[in-house]
A and B are shown apart, each in its own frame.
Chain A
């Protein structure tokens, strides 16, 4: 079992603020790290899949970095908007398990106030 920790558990920001969350994990012995966004009453939606140390991904105002040596990934949102309100989930595929098994953190719940 791979222990994936996310912080903070919840976050409230004002529209226009920039914010970031952390995903930490104990080992660099994994295949890939995934970030998903899950809006209430909708399906979790993939944001990024990262595999290499130093990976940086960007999608509009959202970006992510991966540091496998120190065991963390950051997700950044620049200029938060109310539509960014969602739970952001981090998940890993561990080398010790089947490729089909993702280990998820508990998520960071983001609320952006207008």
Chain B
């Protein structure tokens, strides 16, 4: 079990640029989540996948945000035309749905810290 890995750890970009983050979940986990944390707040839900299907998207996920999990393994989160308000820690998590989804804890990555200048 190598844990959830995220890349890059840090990203500094200029306003208007596109950025893409990658998340590799724990290999046998079928659920994958993206959360975002801004300063002074708890993590906020962005979206989640069951295998390759994107089952829910938050209203926080504007048209500039897109997430994919093409083969039900790794996932990417892309932000187009970044804005300063996008500066945040982007967290990825995964879990294993064994049919008792309410009891399953999430395994988080270390996050990608995005700074938009």
Interface residues of A (CB under 8 A from B): 4, 6, 31-32, 34, 36, 41-46, 49, 51, 89, 91, 93, 98-107
CA distance A51 to B104 in the complex (A): 11
Query: How long is the Cα–Cα vector from A82 to B4 in the complex, in angstroms?
Result: 26
Question: What separation, in Å, do the CA atoms of A107 and B58 have in the docked complex?
Answer: 21
| Count of chain B residues near A, Cβ 8 A | 29
Q: In the complex, A59→B98 CA distance in Å?
A: 23
Minimum CB–CB distance from A31 to chain B (whole Å) comes to: 4
Interface residues of B (CB under 8 A from A): 3-4, 31, 33, 35, 40-45, 48, 50, 55-56, 58, 91, 93, 101-111
On chain A, the residues within 8 Å of B43 by CB distance are 44, 89, 91, 102, 104
A106-B39 Cα distance, complex, nearest whole Å? 10
Question: CA separation between A99 and B48, bound complex, in Å?
Answer: 10
The smallest C-beta distance from A58 to any residue of chain B, in angstroms, reads 16
| Least CB separation from B40: chain A residue | A106
Whether the Cβ atoms of B44 and A104 lie closer than 8 Å is yes
Q: Which residue of A lies closest to B102 (CB)?
A: A31
Residue of A nearest to B91 (CB): A44
- The answer to whether B109 and A49 have CB atoms under 8 Å apart is no
Docked-complex contact A99 and B101, CB < 8 angstroms: yes
Q: Are B103 and A51 in contact (CB under 8 A)?
A: yes
Most A Cβ at <10 Å: residue of B4, B31, B45: B45
B45 touches A32 (CB 8 A): no
What distance in Å separates the Cβ of A19 from its nearest Cβ neighbour in chain B? 20
How close is A87's CB to chain B, nearest CB, in angstroms?
9
How far apart are the CA atoms of A46 and B93 in the complex, in Å? 11
Q: Which of B42, B48, B105 has the most CB of A within 10 A?
A: B42
Task: Tell me if B105 and A100 are in contact (CB < 8 A).
Answer: no
Q: Bound state CA distance, A99 and B104, in angstroms? A: 10
7 closest A-B pairs by CB: A104-B42, A100-B48, A46-B105, A31-B102, A44-B108, A43-B108, A99-B101
